Amino acid sequence: MHPAKSVIYFTTASGAGYGLMVWLAVMGAFGFIPADRPFGIVGFGLAFFLIISGLLSSTGHLGRPERAWRALSQWRSSWLSREGVAAILAFGPTGLYALGWVVLGQNTGPVGLIGIAGALMCLITVYFTSMIYASLKAIPAWSNRWTSLGYLLMALMSGAVLILVLQTIMGIGNSMVALKASVVLIALAGLVKLMYWRSLRNSEPESTTESATGLGKFGQVRMIESPHDEDNYLLKEMGFQIARRHTQKLKRFALAFGFIVPLALVAMISALGMPYALILSVSALISGIVGLVTERWLFFAEAKHVVTLYYNR
């Protein structure tokens, strides 16, 4: 598929925003972070900015962005519609929790329960986002068991690193929780990404030129002439091509900067102590952003629609 910049930003930014919102709710509700007003303003402000800017950017790939709201009515059958509805509903409890934290100075008890409800809605929204892709059986690279799990883990991983950076900068709360969560989630997300790439490498194609044309009963099908003599919309959008050698280089780059380097940097905080926490956590965040953007570009670039079988690709 054509890796549109708007969709890459949407999936990475909104995922990080929802992940940060989850950790704000969980760590606040269980007393690991006090209801400090400046921290709440910065934390919720960053989370809402990432979520809203990501959602808005997702309309940039539409032919008629002003009609995007109409998709909300198809929630019975469309994962895209369900994701939009869930995103809107999530603003309710998360907004109330943010107000309780910033205005009332409370993030535990009843306010904390509202925050936990908001965290669940955030996770549901991320899952619905992943299912927009995982439900497309016509794109085998997405229609597998690792897609949704990867989306959820990378959102939680991004949020954990973000809240670790905020805690380190502002000196608020018990940062060891975010530190340990970051280590575990980065490792798990990296492992799931490797399993995802392994599944793409080893999986047998469910559709072939023979099954796509319905001529398999006559034997092997060989294309004599392409349906078009130049690239068209289908090939540009659904048959994006990337050289195998470049794919392998980008995968190594994404694995290194998205998972290995951030994991090493975050783990070093425990070994070197808090005086080095700021530089290490910020470096881990920057490395993770570079790696995850590369990973998400590959996620779209490697995916091919079965319609490309008609073009011998």
pTM for the full model? 0.88
> What's the CATH class of domain 5-311?
mainly alpha
pLDDT for the residue 80: 86
Q: What is the pLDDT of residue 273?
A: 77
The amino acid occupying position 20 is L
pLDDT of residue 300: 87
Q: Quote the pLDDT of residue 151.
A: 96
The per-residue pLDDT for 168 is 94
Q: What's residue 114's pLDDT? A: 97
Q: What is the pLDDT of residue 202?
A: 80
pLDDT at 268: 94
Query: According to the model, what pLDDT value does residue 136 have?
Result: 84
pLDDT at 230: 62
The pLDDT score that the predictor gives to residue 238 is: 60
Question: What pLDDT is attached to residue 41?
Answer: 97
pLDDT, position 111: 96
- CA pair distance 183, 57, nearest whole angstrom: 30
- Residue 75's pLDDT is 77
Report how far apart, in Å, the C-alpha atoms of 92 and of each of 22, 87, 103, 122 are.
Answer: 14, 10, 16, 11
- How confident is the model at residue 246, as a pLDDT? 79
Query: Which residues in the chain land under pLDDT 70?
Result: 1-2, 61-70, 204-213, 215-216, 221-245, 305-313
